[in-house]
């Protein structure tokens, strides 16, 4: 990509798309096309086709998606499947139709089987049943990967797929019930601190292990891979390191400054026991994350304070 190449970021108002936009701006890119969801409904095939016909972007970052945590995934199962299928099918087809030079599709680590061996290697895709609570979202993301492969196979499109691990950072969703675990913990501990609560209760046993990548590190990896990676197979993006939900909660508790007790509601679901990415393929292309978890959570907490007070 040249700095004057026409780049479309689908989903620039989200945490991931926003981080990619910041990274491209930092690198001097000056021909970036952006549309909010109110300006362009990506679920509408005719609207997406018209947009690509008019704008003719050369490069596309497909970061738009309907996302949420365990509760949202399990509650809005039809929406998570339908909306994500429509968004990716419309964009990928229009990218092919209007000659996009390269498209990057961003998936999710939940595409891997619930009980896949750890760490998760790219070839484990479709080797076993998915985690039931987020199966619709995972199926939609797997379809996106397969669409990129199929358009490459049939039409020679340079469409690549990247699988980020759990993400957090600036512009995250801190909704009380529909957010992912890390932003949910930030909100819960902050509110408990403000209200002088004696304890905070976390869903599940605290035993599942998760990996977390700062969104601006992901953006750097995405731009890097847009330049360097041209293969058919998906590629994981993560840290290659994980910690238990209990350890995560204790870290957030310390950073927020909550002095009460930490409790676990074992009647609530744990989700997948462990989700650690194998990032050896990414490392072979010369990229590694650089924001330590505590430093990233401190930045995320400051962002939460700015946007939620």
Specify burial of residue 76 (Cβ count, 10 A radius: 0-12, 13-18, 19+): middle
Band (272; pLDDT cuts 50, 70, 90) = confident
Q: Is 270 annotated as a binding residue?
A: yes
User: Architecture of 7-169+212-241+276-291 per CATH?
Assistant: 3-Layer(aba) Sandwich (3.40)
Model pLDDT, residue 264: 96
Domain residue ranges in the chain? 7-169+212-241+276-291
198-235 pLDDT, tens digit each: 999 998 999 999 999 999 999 999 999 999 999 999 99
Residue 169 in marked binding region: no
pTM here is 0.93
Chain-wide mean pLDDT for the chain?
95
Q: Is residue 201 part of an annotated ligand binding site?
A: no
Task: Write out the catalytic residue numbers.
Answer: 137
Tell me how far apart the alpha carbons of residues 188 and 286 are, in angstroms, rounded to a whole number: 38
Has 164 been labeled as part of a binding site?
yes
- Residues 24-70: tens digit of each pLDDT: 999 999 999 999 999 999 999 999 999 999 999 999 999 999 887 77
Cα(137)–Cα(284) distance, integer angstroms: 29
Rounded percentage of the chain residues whose pLDDT exceeds 70:
99
Residue 72, pLDDT score:
75
Q: What angle do CA 162, 168, 171 make, to 5 degrees?
A: 105
DSSP string, 235-301: EEES-S--EEHHHHHHHHHHHHT--SEEEEETTS---SSEE-B--HHHHHTT------HHHHHHHHH
Structural contact between residues 100 and 107, judged by C-beta atoms closer than 8 angstroms: no
Instruction: Report the SS3 class of residue 104.
Output: strand
Whether 271 shows a pLDDT value over 90: the answer reads: no
203 among annotated binding-site residues: yes
Q: Which two three-digit tokens encode residue 93? A: 């087809």
What is residue 125's DSSP assignment? T
Query: What value does the mean pLDDT take over residues 255-283?
Result: 93
Interval 84-113: pLDDT, tens: 999 999 999 999 999 999 999 999 988 999
* Largest interatomic CA distance in the chain: 60
Question: Closest Cα partner for 95 from 42, 131, 26?
Answer: 42
Instruction: State the pLDDT at residue 134.
Output: 86
* Confidence band, pLDDT 50/70/90 cuts, at residue 308: confident
CA distance 162 to 222: 8
């Amino acid at each position: 990509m040249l700095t004057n190449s026409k780049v479309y970021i689908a989903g620039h108002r989200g945490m991931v798309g926003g981080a990619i936009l910041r990274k491209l701006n930092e690198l001097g890119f000056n021909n970036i096309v952006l549309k909010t969801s109110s300006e362009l409904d990506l679920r509408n095939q005719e609207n997406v086709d018209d947009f690509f016909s008019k704008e003719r972007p050369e490069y596309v970052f497909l970061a738009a998606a309907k996302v949420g945590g365990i509760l949202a995934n399990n509650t809005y199962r039809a929406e998570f499947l339908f909306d994500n299928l429509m968004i990716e099918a419309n964009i990928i087809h229009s990218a092919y139709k209007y000659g996009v030079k390269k498209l990057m599709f961003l998936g999710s680590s939940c595409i891997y089987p619930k009980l896949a061996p750890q760490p998760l290697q790219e070839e484990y895709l479709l080797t076993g049943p998915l985690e039931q609570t987020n199966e619709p979202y995972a199926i939609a993301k797997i379809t996106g990967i397969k669409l990129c492969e199929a358009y490459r196979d049939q039409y020679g499109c340079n469409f690549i797929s990247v699988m980020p691990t759990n993400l957090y950072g600036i512009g995250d969703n801190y909704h009380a019930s529909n957010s992912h675990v890390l932003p949910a913990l930030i909100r819960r501990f902050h509110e408990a601190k403000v209200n002088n609560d004696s304890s905070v209760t976390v869903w599940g046993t605290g035993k599942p292990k998760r990996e977390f990548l700062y969104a601006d590190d992901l953006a750097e990896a995405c731009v890097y891979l847009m330049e360097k990676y041209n293969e058919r197979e998906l590629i994981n993006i993560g840290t290659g390191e994980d910690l238990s939900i209990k350890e995560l909660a204790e870290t957030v508790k310390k950073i927020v400054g909550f002095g009460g007790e930490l409790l676990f509601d074992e009647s609530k679901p744990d989700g997948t026991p462990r989700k650690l990415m194998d990032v050896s393929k990414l490392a072979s292309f010369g990229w590694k994350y650089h924001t330590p978890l505590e430093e990233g959570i401190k930045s995320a907490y400051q962002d939460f304070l700015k946007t939620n007070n």
